[in-house]
Chain A
Amino acid sequence: MIPLIGLVVGIVLGLLLEPTLPTVLQPYLPIAIVAALDALFGAFRAYLEGTFTDRVFVVSFVSNVLIAALIVWVGDQIGVGSQLSTGVVVVLGIRIFTNVAAIRRVLFHA
């Protein structure tokens, strides 16, 4: 319940405050969001399987976001930024699908 409230509060805050990211960081925000989604679904899966711990969740969330952004940043530096970001999105997408499949299995036994 509280996480959902947190999500809603975050969206409302984003709408009301209109925060802006520094221009330097803006190219990495989409990747970071995808990484965060991956961490989120992983956490939910772990929760359903009874292995959830908030510390692991926070650490994995932060590290996922940072590593994804870092990979893309490094890619940008060496000139393969768009390719690397595509690769990261693909990998994270696969992970998200795997996690969601596991969640679905636990919740609906299907």
Chain B
Amino acid sequence: MPDAPRATSRRLAALARARARIVEPGSDGTPGGPSSEERPVPPPRPGVWRRIGLAALRPGRSQVVAAVVLCLLGMAGVMQVRTNDSGDAYRTARREDLVQILDGLGVESRRLEAEVAELQSTKARLQSGADTQRVAREDASRRVQELGILAGTAPAHGPGIRIRISDPQEKVDANVLLDAVEELRDAGAEVIEVNDSSRVVASTWFGNDGTTLLVDGVPLERPLVIEAIGDPHSLEEAARFRGGIVSEITGPKIGGDVTIAQLGDVVVTSLHAPPASQYARPAAAGPTPR
């Protein structure tokens, strides 16, 4: 450090000491005076740390004052830090800042509301889509059941009749059987089964092998039993009308015997195994009829 500032500072220090002595002659002047007179005099470079050390050992009035001020500062600092930490920052905020914060929150909440509305509409759309799909699936499975009954690939039960044909002369041939099935179908039979073993479906054929009856190539044993699911009364009438099955079989040409029982629950468990179609493939259909 150059000489001139040091001299000035020394002079100022002396001045301050003198003033202190004038203001309070007895209190602090004597101990503080001589020691601090020497301290600025030695070159400050090696002396600064020593001066600080000496001051720490020999407290003076100015240190007490500084202590009081620092005490206040410490309290204020703690107060402020605590206020900041308490998270209640808005209590001390200015009005403009609060307005700005409120503004920002309003914008944010509007944005979030828009987002909520969008997500809710998406949710509704997905839900209705899922519902549609579920309905379609239920519908499809119901149709599978119906078609299964129609095609003979699913077991079925329901009210119907059982026709028992005893034919001791074995004169009932395929034509008679076909007539019987046709009559039953006309009367609304939904499921027809012969001898508890052969399901009658669209592709079923009847044939003769000598006196043996064949259904889909399977020989039938006598007596024949035809079970049909449908309105029992209609079915029985269809079998019994004049010139119908019953009169044909019990007539002199065949000389058989027919018993018909109306049943509350006919169970048909025999199934028709459809061969995989070799040429036909499903085409894209229009809307399924209901």
Contact A2 B59 (CB under 8 A): yes
Interface residue tally for chain B (C-beta within 8 Å): 45
Contact A1 B56 (CB under 8 A): yes
Give the residues in chain A near B49, CB-CB below 8 Å.
107
Contact with B along A75-110 (1 / 0, CB 8 A): 010010110000000000000000000000011010
Contact with B along A27-54 (1 / 0, CB 8 A): 1011011001100100100001111111
Which listed residue (B45, B59, B75) contacts A13, Cβ 8 A? Answer: B75
Contact B97 A82 (CB under 8 A): yes
Q: A14-B78, A18-B82 are in contact. Are A6 and B94 (CB under 8 A)?
A: no
Q: Is B74 positioned at the interface, with any CB of A under 8 Å from its CB? A: yes
Contact B78 A15 (CB under 8 A): yes
Contact A9 B65 (CB under 8 A): no
Give the residues in chain A near B56, CB-CB below 8 Å.
1
Interface majority SS on B: helix, strand, loop or mixed?
helix
Q: Is A8 positioned at the interface, with any CB of B under 8 Å from its CB? A: yes
Q: How many A-B residue pairs have CB under 8 A?
A: 132
Q: A50-B13, A50-B39, A82-B97 are in contact. Are A2 and B63 (CB under 8 A)?
A: yes
Q: A2-B66, A27-B94 are in contact. Are A106 and B73 (CB under 8 A)?
A: no
Give the residues in chain A near B92, CB-CB below 8 Å.
23, 26-27, 29
Which listed residue (A2, A23, A40, A81) contacts B73, Cβ 8 A? Answer: A40
Contact A2 B64 (CB under 8 A): yes
- Sample of 12 further A-B pairs with CB below 8 A, known A3-B70, A10-B74, A32-B76: A1-B59, A6-B67, A14-B76, A23-B91, A27-B93, A27-B94, A50-B13, A52-B62, A57-B66, A81-B94, A82-B96, A82-B97
The 9 closest A-B pairs by CB, nearest first: A10-B74, A6-B67, A14-B78, A10-B71, A54-B62, A1-B56, A50-B40, A3-B66, A7-B70
